[in-house]
Amino acid sequence: MAMFWRRFCRNRLAFAGLVILVLFVVSALLAPYLTTHDPNKANLRLRNQPPSSAHPFGTDDMGRDILARTLYGGRISLSVGLVSAGISLVIGTILGALAGYCGGAVDTVIMRLADVFYSFPFLILAITISAIFGPSIYNTMIILGVLSWPGPARLLRAEFLKFKTTDFVAAATALGARPGRIMFRHILPNAFSPLLVSATLEVAAAILSEAGLSFLGLGVPPPAPSWGNMLNRARPLHILAGMPWMWIPPGLAVFVVVLSINFVGDGLRDALDPRQEKKDY
Amino acid sequence: MWRYIVRRIFVQGIPVLLGFTFVLYFVITIAPGSPVTHLRGVPNIDEETIARRQAQLGLNDSFPVQYVKWLGRVLRGDLGLSFDSSRRPVSELILERMPATILLSASSIVLGWVIGIPVGILSARYQYSALDYVITFLAFVGISAPSFFFGLLLLYVFAARLNVLPAGGFFLAGEPRTLVGYVQYLLLPSITLGLGSIAGIARYMRSSLLEVMGQDFLRTARAKGLSENKVVYKHALRNALLPILTLMGFTIPSIFSGAVIVENIFAWPGLGSLAIQAVNERNYPVIMGINLMFAVLIFLGSLIADISYAVVDPRIRYE
Amino acid sequence: MKKLLLPVVVFCLLFSAVAAAQGPVQGGTFRYALTTNPRGMFNPILNTEVYDGYINSVVYDGLIYIDENLEPQPKIAKSWEFSEDGLALTFYLHQGVKFHDGVELTAKDVAYTYKTILHPEYTGVRYGDFSMLVGAEDYHNGLADQVPGIKVVDDYTITFTTSEPFAPLLSQFTYGILPSHLLAHIPVGELELADFNRHPIGSGPFKFVEFLTDQHVLLEANEDYFFGRPNIDTLVFQRVAEDALPIYIRQGRVDYAEISPENYLEVSSIPGIDVYVYEALSYNYICFNMRQPRFADPVVRQAITYGFDRETYVEVLREGFGIVANAPIPMASWAFTSEGINEYPYDPELAAQMLAEAGWKPGADGVLEKEGMRLEFELLVPEGTRVNEQMALLFQQNMEEIGIKVNLVFMEFSAAVDRVDARQFDTFTMGWSLSVDPDPYGIWHSTSPWNDPGFYNERSDELLELGRRETDPAKRKEIYAEWQRLINHELPTMFLSYGVTIAAVSERVQGIDTEPGPLGPLVSLDKLAQIWLLQ
């Protein structure tokens, strides 16, 4: 573990990414303490105000405080990212493990199913489903989660195939361990590293997808703030040109968070896979 | 090889597509909202007219019946008629927009390769140099930027501010269709769409090349006294390019998906706006047609990637 | 530099003055920006999309057209007359009007066009406009094979008869006339699939040239147009990305565009662009579900209206582009009245007091209650329009101040309409676009399927029935005035604002209506046949 940590910290970008990420998560959690403004409190007398001491990031077209909306929006965007990645990981892990461990018909069916989901034009389908079931935070999480499980599933299946034939699994089987125990106690921990790396990338992808869906008005519905729907509101040219304070905070937030997650994922990959040490930084 | 292709198509492709269309058709029919909803806005329309339309469109059938009828038509090569007032064949609606979507997707893939590969090579060639760090950092930036918003900013800077490029759309009526014109209209949308793949390919190229360069046969080449440039460009590169081919199969789905948003921002006359419009209007045959078509394209993309992989790498054989 | 500039400016001014004084010149391409793509149903009796209607209105001519004052004016029909009893309407057609293929347009074509709408297998949506013609219903239901209400007298005379007077009838004869010689052989049920719809031939000022999906529709001047060749050579409906519309206008790539209020400042600052603001024939509203006991008392509906700051909604959220509405007939219509209309100015104290007097008391959580009813309800808001969302937020806040709790439910449009049709709503917000004739029967009569609030009032029904039977405009205006006062008091829906349209027009476009009425500077698209471009 100490070894892992040292490796990870040696990757400066990954370390910086982690620090920034922690900052974002903490500030989203502590949002009520960082700003006194209610993110949903409209004040029409204070519409479209540039940054000031009262509103450090300015206000939007309903006179709502942009700083507060960015902070609270972080809660929503980050949790959409985490939850949907979580959903896809849980589904992917279970199905991938089953496919890899059981093989045969089970493997065929699961992998065919993965192909079905993989052949979905992701965003078009997400748009279809979201439009149909109505945009909501939970629908967004579920759509993104359910549509992206084949990635982790394939990964885990490959790992399972690799470990299934190893001696220690054979030993465990000989000792009479039940398949469930073997799968989740013996093999899964070994597949942990690639899974963790893929998890970080899933989170990054989900945050971007949420922003994309909300940008089309099909993700997190107003008035709750999310980074994506804040960007959506900045679409008109006069805001883009004349009121950059409305889109810089959420735009930068998406960008920096996704960038940090990617750095962290990269760092994890290196730190967890000593063989590739020389290949990356 | 042919056996492999046939098996991929019939054992893998067809069942997958069947499952896909079944699930999708089910989802869109249980959804709230109906294809005749928008008729409500027509002045003086009577209920009977709406009821007739509903019957005419076959909407009074249950889901299984609708699906089987749809599937039957598709198997005969007929994607049905659009539910909107134009009643045009779905295949026609798709075909007339396909070229634009393919043009955009292809040019952003090309952009990804033309920029991504040399940049990746440079990065690997000068590993651990300042250039390498800059490229790596920029590649991360490219992967992490929300492309839709990036596109909007490009539009603002190059069309609104600098006034050097058109603000989206395609040729005006009567405008001569010159090569320069194509480039002008394609530039911003394909950069927006290709941003992620440029970055992805650059990074992939870098690690792939580095891996190859550590291998024995290159040491032999170096030992023979070949210059480093020759080693890299003549021997290493060929081998490093192989895995990049497989990447193509993987990028196709994301490129097509991304095209939906990019087309929406740039009023690109492709399938993206048709898709969004169809979803909003519950235009079942069009939704199904577009999704089916994309699914087929994605499947073919991965098939072609696999095959080309086998073609360039004689070590790989499919039984 | 400054010295140099002045002569240039003077020269330009002189030049444009000369050009203007010269009168119309021929030539040039006029580009009309569309942010939504036409579908390609270029058949005036079958299209449902408004943008297809644009193309139809320049390719085809109707019997009449509607002018800037919303008055019917002669087109293919050089005149018309009503019979003594007001039941028969006879049109006298111009002789020598020709379709684009050179064939003359006669009463036979008119009869074909309108009979097709009534045909049992007709697939379009216009039947409701002409179902009152004598025998229309029997024909439509396949019980008769003729329509006695449509009678061709001779090649240039045609009579339409209704069984009882129907005041809006005349204004509905604007649909383009189809060439029967090209279509009569096609079964009506298959007409919507005909290739003709993609290559329309009408008698209008412009000939159809090409339709490139999602790109443009190209039309050229009809050299032999009966009412004189249009001045412009080419007419283009150009598809433009909504986000990029102001840039297109700035780059001079379009000559005419309808823009949203949020782009007003941006666009009006562009040199060489004139911006026109005019009232549209539309309004938006928040509809109460009167089937629910809590909304049954008009006092509740009135109090809510007093309690909502609609002035701020219009002045701030709509940036002043709109007019607070208090009844469902738009200001632009001749039937509009302000006499005896309560304006319900924003007055939260009055609202609270009215509710208190009606017996509503705050419950444990501060929300008003009365006899087991609670003033906590959902407002259904269709997604996608920013100003709707803002309005809903304002409404929620305003209501909170008078003890009413509003829960906002944002929904995609189709899904929201589904809920409304199933009457599964407390309140919802939407808008109506209205036809030229003010007849509100279709939306407000208690038997109408579109009576969403579930409003039933004997007097209202009576007035609506009277209104469409009355052919004397002055008396009809009286009837609708009384009806507006009734609705204004009852408030089955809370009216928010009358719509306003903003059009940006390049200064090189001459001959438009510079003080536009509700149909805009091009008077629908009628003026396209007369405008000309400074070269």
CB contact at 8 A, C86 and C80: no
The answer to whether residue A123 scores a pLDDT higher than 80 is no
The string of pLDDT tens digits covering residues C428-482 is 999 998 888 999 998 999 988 889 999 999 999 999 999 999 988 899 999 999 9
Is the ipTM higher than 0.85? The answer is no
Q: Which is higher by pLDDT, C359 or B152? A: C359
Q: Where are the domains of chain B?
A: 2-75, 98-312
A62:C383 CB<8 A: no
Alpha-carbon distances, residue A31 vs A24, A25, A72, A74, C235 (angstroms): 10, 10, 6, 9, 56
Q: What angle do CA A222, A228, A232 make, to 5 degrees?
A: 70
State mean pLDDT over C19-44.
85
Which residues in chain B touch residue C44, judged by CB atoms under 8 angstroms apart?
none
The domain defined by B98-312 folds into MetI-like fold (1.10.3720)
For B151-175, what is the mean pLDDT?
A: 85
Q: Which residues in chain C are contacts of A237 at CB distance < 8 A?
A: 243-244, 246-247, 263, 266
On whether any CB of chain B is under 8 Å from the CB of C438, the answer is no
Q: Which fold has domain A76-274?
A: MetI-like fold (1.10.3720)
pTM flag (> 0.90): no
Instruction: State how far the Cα of B44 lies from the Cα of C174, in Å rounded to an integer.
Output: 15
Interface test with A, best of B28, B137, B144 (most A CBs within 10 A): B144
Q: What is the mean pLDDT of residues C369-398?
A: 90
pLDDT above 50: residue C201: yes
HEC secondary structure over chain A: CHHHHHHHHHCHHHHHHHHHHHHHHHHHHCHHHHCCCCCCCCCHHHCCCCCCCCCCCCECCCCCEHHHHHHHHHHHHHHHHHHHHHHHHHHHHHHHHHHHHHCHHHHHHHHHHHHHHHCCCHHHHHHHHHHHHCCCHHHHHHHHHHHCCHHHHHHHHHHHHHHHCCHHHHHHHHCCCCHHHHHHHHHHHHHHHHHHHHHHHHHHHHHHHHHHHHHCCCCCCCCCCCHHHHHHHCCCHHHHHHCHHHCHHHHHHHHHHHHHHHHHHHHHHHHHCHHHCCCCC
Residues in a beta bridge with C379: C408, C427
Q: What is the DSSP letter of C169?
A: G
Ranges assigned E (strand) in C242-358: 256-259, 273-288, 323-324
Q: Does B245 contact chain A (CB < 8 Å)?
A: no
Instruction: Give the pairing of strands C206-212 and C157-161.
Output: unpaired
Rg (CA), chain C: 26
Say if the Cβ atoms of B85 and C47 lie within 8 Å: yes
Q: Does B160 touch chain A (CB under 8 A)?
A: yes
C405: left (phi over 0), alpha (psi -120 to 50) or beta: beta
pLDDT of A245 higher than 80: yes
User: Residues B66, B70, B73, B79: what is their CA dihedral angle, to the nearest 10 degrees?
Assistant: 140
The full set of domains in chain C, from first to last, is 13-42+200-279+501-533 (3.40.190.10), 57-192 (3.90.76.10), 280-499 (3.10.105.10)
Q: C262, C310, C424: which to substitute to probe chain A, counting the most A Cβ within 10 Å? A: C262
What is the mean predicted confidence (pLDDT) over B162-191?
88
Task: Tell whether B95 is within 8 A of chain A (Cβ).
Answer: no
Whether residue C386 contacts residue C433, with contact meaning beta carbons closer than 8 Å, is answered with no
Whether residue B41 is predicted with pLDDT greater than 80 in this model: the reply is no
What are the sequence ranges of the domains in chain A? 76-274
Both tokens of B105, joined, read 């997707």
Give me the mean pLDDT over the A22-33 stretch. 91
C248 contacts B86? CB cut-off 8 A: no
- Mean pLDDT, residues C203-225: 94
Does residue A267 have a pLDDT over 80?
A: yes
Which of A44, A222, A237 comes nearest C316 by C-beta?
A44
The tens digit of pLDDT for each residue in C78-91 reads 999 999 998 999 99
Residue to substitute from A38, A45, A49, A62, interface C, most C β-carbons within 10 A:
A62
For every residue of B132-186, which 3-state class applies, written as one string?
HHHHHHHHHHHHHCCHHHHHHHHHHHHHHHCCCCCCCCCCCCCCCCCHHHHHHHH
User: What are the chain B neighbours of C417 within 8 Å (beta carbons)?
Assistant: 33, 37, 40
Helices and strands (H and E) in chain B: how many: 13, 0
Taking only the tens place, the pLDDT of each residue in C493-532 is 999 999 999 999 999 999 999 999 899 999 889 999 999 9
- Let me know: does B100 contact B170? Beta carbons within 8 Å: yes
C395's enclosing H/E stretch is helix C386-401
Helix (H, G, I), strand (E, B) or coil at C292: coil
Q: What is the least distance, in Å, from the CA of A18 to any CA of chain B?
A: 15
Residue C182: name the closest of C209, C203, C161 by CA.
C203
Question: Which of B140, B153, B291 is closest, CB to CB, to A263?
Answer: B140
CB contact (8 A) between residue C415 and residue B31? yes
